[in-house]
C-alpha cells in the first residue's frame, strides 16, 4: 500500500467503504464534487458472493484514484464468528448478528487504508435510519477519532430514483443486474433481506427473496446426519474432516440450506429506536449455535449455564449496537472465553424438512455422570440422602407455613370464645 499524504493535485483523500452497489457507486462522484476530495474505495470480502474485483474496476472507471479489495474471510471467521459462537449470540433471541458482526471488521480495514494514505475522511453508504451507520462510525471513533466521516446518502437525502438520475446524468457505470426492490446484505454468517413488501409485517415473505435456502417443495425426503466437532467452543470438524472455520461455515451454509434450514423472519428493534422487519437466511448459524449450546450443556457447570446467558445477551446487544471496539465487549468476551476451555467434543445434528435438530452429544470432558443419573443398575446415588436435602431446602418454607398456621389457630380460638359467650 502506498503512503501518499494527498491525492492528485494536493487534494484531501476520502476512503470509502465500497460494496459496488448503487449507493456507494454514486457516493464516489458525490464526494469528489461536494468535498473536492480524491476517493479511494475499499471493498472487504467477508464471504458475500459478489465479484469485488469487478466492482473495484468500476470504482476506478467512476473516478476513484485507487480501489482496494481486502480478503478478510479468515479474519472474519477467526476473530468475529468464533466469539459470536462461543457467546451463543442472538439479538433479541433470534438474529445471529451476521450483518452487525461484519461492520466493525470492514470499518477497521477502511481505517487502516485511511491511515496508510494519510486520509482526512472516511465514508460509508449507509442511510440515516439504520444500525449500520452507527456501527461504522462508532468503530471509526474507537479506532481513530481524528478521522472525519462523510455519509453521502445521509447528508444528501436522496432516494433511489434520485440516485439513478444522478448516475445517468454523470454517466456513472452501475452494476449490470437490475437493482432489486429489496435491500440485501450478505457475508459468511448470513444474508439479510429487507424493504419492498416485507415492510408490512403481516405480508408473508415472497419466495423470491431467498437465495441460500430451498423451498419446502425441494426439501430432500431423506434426513441428513452431521457430526460437528468443537474445540474449546469453536467448531473444527464436520464428519471427522478438519477444516478452517470459514470453510466449515460455507459448507454448512450449503448443506443446511438445501434442507431449508435457517430462514428467520424477525421484527427487530434497531438501536436508533425504529422497529424494522428483517428476513434472514442463516443456515450455518442455525446449525452451529444450537449444537454449541448442546455441548455446553454437558461440559459446563450448572452455575455457569445459568449465569452465562446474561452476558450472552449483553454481548449480542453490544455487537448489534456497534460497540464491538469497547471495553465492555472485550471484558464480556474474556469471561466467555474463560468458560469455553472444556467445551470440546462432538454434536450430532439431523437436518430434515427445514429443521436442524441436535440428537446426540459427546465429550471426553463431559460432566454428565451416568452412575448418578441412571435409573437402572449401576446406580451409585444413595437416594436416602435426598430426604435431608429436601428438609433443609424447605426449612424456610416450613417457618412461613408454621406462622400462617399459628395465625389461623389464634383466629379459630377467638371465634370459639365468641360462640361460647353468646350461648
Strands 275-281 and 190-194: antiparallel
**Which residue in the list 98, 183, 276, 316 is annotated as catalytic?**
183
Rounded least distance, CB 223 to ligand ARG, Å = 31
Is residue 131 part of an annotated ligand binding site? yes
- 19 assigned ligand-binding residue: yes
- Among the listed residues 23, 38, 45, 185, the single catalytic one is 23
Total residues belonging to the chain: 423
C-beta atoms surrounding 293 within 10 Å: 18
Q: How far is the CB of 194 from ligand ARG (least distance, A)?
A: 4
Angle between helices 22-34 and 52-61 (to 10 degrees): 30
Tell whether residue 362 is among the known ligand binding residues.
Answer: no
The reply to whether 20 sits in an annotated binding site is yes
CB of 37 to ligand ARG, least distance (A): 26
- The minimum distance between CB 381 and ligand ARG, in angstroms, equals 48
Question: Does 192 belong to an annotated binding site?
Answer: yes
Q: Tell whether residue 146 is among the known ligand binding residues.
A: no
Shortest CA distance to 253 belongs to which of 188, 194, 207? 188
Q: Please say if 132 is a catalytic residue.
A: yes
List residues near ligand ARG by CB under 6 A: 99-100, 131, 183-185, 192-194, 278
Q: Is 101 helix (H, G, I), strand (E, B) or coil?
A: helix
Detail the DSSP E strand segments found in 206-363: 224-231, 234-238, 241-242, 263-269, 275-281, 345-352, 355-362
Q: What is the CA radius of gyration of the chain?
A: 28
Which entry of 38, 66, 132, 246 is annotated as an active-site residue? 132
Distance CA 229, CA 347 (A): 6
Catalytic residue among 103, 191, 263, 293: 103
Q: Which is nearer to ligand ARG, 186 or 296 (CB)?
A: 186
Residue 131 C-beta: closest distance to ligand ARG, Å: 4
Distances (CA, A) of 90 to 3, 169, 313, 322, 389: 40, 44, 8, 15, 37
Q: Which is nearer to ligand ARG, 99 or 316 (CB)?
A: 99
Q: Is 183 a catalytic residue?
A: yes
Instruction: Report how far residue 58's alpha carbon sits from residue 124's, in angstroms, rounded to the nearest whole number.
Output: 17
Which helix (H) or strand (E) covers residue 183, if one does? strand 183-187
CA atoms of 319 and 73, how far apart (whole Å): 18
The answer to whether residues 261 and 355 touch, using CB atoms and an 8 Å cutoff, is: yes
Residue 41 in marked binding region: no
- Where are the strands (E) in 82-175, listed by range? 121-123, 148-150
Q: How many CB atoms lie within 10 A of CB 359?
A: 11
Q: Is 95 part of any known ligand binding site?
A: yes
* Nearest distance in Å: CB 199, ligand ARG: 11
Question: Residue ranges for the binding site?
Answer: 17-25, 95, 125, 127, 131-132, 135, 183, 192, 268, 280
Question: Residue ranges for the binding site for L-citrulline?
Answer: 95, 131, 135, 183, 192, 268, 280
Question: Residue ranges for the binding site for ATP?
Answer: 17-25, 125
Would you please indicate which residues are annotated as catalytic (active-site) residues? 23, 103, 132, 183
Amino acid at each position: 500500500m502506498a503512503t501518499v499524504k494527498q491525492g492528485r493535485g494536493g487534494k484531501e483523500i476520502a476512503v470509502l467503504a465500497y460494496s459496488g452497489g448503487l449507493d456507494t457507486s454514486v457516493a464516489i462522484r458525490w464526494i469528489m464534487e461536494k468535498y473536492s476530495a480524491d476517493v479511494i474505495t475499499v471493498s472487504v470480502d467477508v464471504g458475500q458472493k459478489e465479484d469485488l474485483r469487478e466492482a473495484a474496476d468500476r470504482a476506478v472507471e467512476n473516478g476513484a484514484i485507487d480501489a482496494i479489495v481486502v480478503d478478510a474471510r479468515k479474519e472474519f471467521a477467526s476473530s468475529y464468528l468464533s466469539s459470536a459462537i462461543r457467546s451463543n449470540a442472538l439479538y433479541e433471541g433470534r438474529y445471529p448478528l451476521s450483518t452487525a458482526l461484519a461492520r466493525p471488521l470492514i470499518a477497521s480495514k477502511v481505517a487502516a487504508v485511511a491511515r496508510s494514505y494519510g486520509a482526512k475522511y472516511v465514508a460509508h453508504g449507509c442511510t440515516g435510519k439504520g444500525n449500520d451507520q452507527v456501527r461504522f462510525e462508532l468503530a471509526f471513533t474507537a479506532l481513530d477519532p481524528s478521522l472525519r466521516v462523510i455519509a453521502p446518502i445521509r447528508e444528501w437525502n436522496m432516494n433511489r430514483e434520485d440516485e439513478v438520475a444522478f448516475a445517468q446524468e454523470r454517466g456513472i457505470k452501475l452494476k449490470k443486474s437490475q437493482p432489486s426492490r429489496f435491500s440485501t446484505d450478505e457475508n459468511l454468517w448470513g444474508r439479510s433481506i429487507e424493504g419492498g413488501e416485507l415492510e408490512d409485517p403481516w405480508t408473508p415473505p415472497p419466495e423470491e427473496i431467498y437465495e441460500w435456502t430451498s423451498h419446502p417443495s425441494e426439501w430432500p425426503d431423506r434426513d441428513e446426519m452431521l457430526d460437528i466437532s468443537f474445540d474449546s467452543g469453536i467448531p473444527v470438524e464436520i464428519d471427522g474432516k478438519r477444516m478452517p472455520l470459514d470453510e466449515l461455515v460455507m459448507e454448512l451454509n450449503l448443506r443446511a440450506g438445501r434442507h431449508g434450514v435457517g430462514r428467520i423472519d424477525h421484527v427487530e428493534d434497531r438501536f436508533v429506536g425504529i422497529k424494522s422487519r428483517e428476513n434472514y437466511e442463516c443456515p450455518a448459524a442455525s446449525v452451529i449455535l444450537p449444537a454449541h449450546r448442546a455441548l455446553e450443556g454437558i461440559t459446563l457447570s450448572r452455575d455457569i449455564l445459568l449465569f452465562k446467558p446474561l452476558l450472552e445477551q449483553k454481548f449480542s446487544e453490544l455487537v448489534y449496537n456497534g460497540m464491538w471496539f469497547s471495553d465492555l465487549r472485550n471484558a464480556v468476551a474474556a469471561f466467555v472465553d474463560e468458560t469455553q476451555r472444556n467445551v470440546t467434543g462432538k454434536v450430532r445434528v439431523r437436518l430434515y424438512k427445514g429443521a436442524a435438530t441436535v440428537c446426540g452429544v459427546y465429550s471426553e470432558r463431559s460432566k454428565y455422570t451416568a452412575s448418578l443419573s441412571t435409573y437402572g443398575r449401576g446406580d451409585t446415588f444413595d437416594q436416602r440422602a435426598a430426604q435431608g436435602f429436601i428438609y433443609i431446602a424447605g426449612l424456610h418454607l416450613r417457618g412461613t407455613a408454621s406462622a400462617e398456621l399459628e395465625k389461623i389457630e389464634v383466629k379459630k380460638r377467638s371465634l370459639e370464645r365468641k360462640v361460647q359467650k353468646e350461648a
